[in-house]
Amino acid sequence: MKGQAWVQDAVLSIAIIIFAFAIFMVGYNNLVTTQEFDDIYEENELISEYLMLEGTPSEWNESNVIRIGILNSDHSINDTKLDLFRNLTKSNYDNSRSLLNTRFDFFIFFTDNQGNYINILNETFIGKTDINDTNLLTIDTESIAKTERYVIKKIDNSNFKEIIRLNVYSWEEG
């Protein structure tokens, strides 16, 4: 009888240890996932902040750019800078990520007040290639962050302007 009690105590102790370890792992996994999302969200905010500036230098081009920005000093979209940003992203996406100081994937697009996509320079989406509004939700990731900012768009080279949304998405594939 004494031997059986010892075996039962050992099995119960092992079960308690396994249960405690499982609870620890679930909590740890949630903590890691939360930290990963916080990192993605913070970098997504930074991307949008950088884009909301003129860039460095203020008259940057592909050969001298230090930090990408797509706006003029009056906070309106600078079509030349947006075109340079689009070209940089298409020709060297990893360099664009570096210039935006992010290790995560990203893409941007503009929408009007009703949420309709706005084509600027005959382009709707800028960023990670092969990503658009229809396959964004199929990305293999545990965390994705979105930031919206309001910018000014000049209407057809006139003095008229409209306020539109800059949408920035960031994620880590995996």
pLDDT digits (tens, 9 = 90+) for 128-167: 877 777 777 677 777 889 999 999 998 877 788 899 999 9
Provide, rounded to the nearest whole percent, the portion of the chain with pLDDT above 70.
83
Confidence of residue 33 (pLDDT cuts 50, 70, 90): low
157 dihedral zone (left: phi>0; alpha: psi -120 to 50; beta): left
Instruction: Find the domain containing 59 and state its range.
Output: 2-171
Q: What is the pLDDT of residue 144?
A: 86
Residues 6+ apart with CB under 8 A from 10: none
Q: Give Cα 143 distance to the centre of its chain.
A: 10
Q: Dihedral of CA 50/56/61/62: which sign? A: negative
Count structural domains, the chain.
1
**pLDDT, tens digit, for every residue of 79-128?**
999 999 999 999 999 999 999 999 999 999 999 989 999 988 888 899 98
Q: Dihedral of CA 117/121/123/126: which sign? A: negative
Q: N- to C-terminal Cα distance for the chain?
A: 53
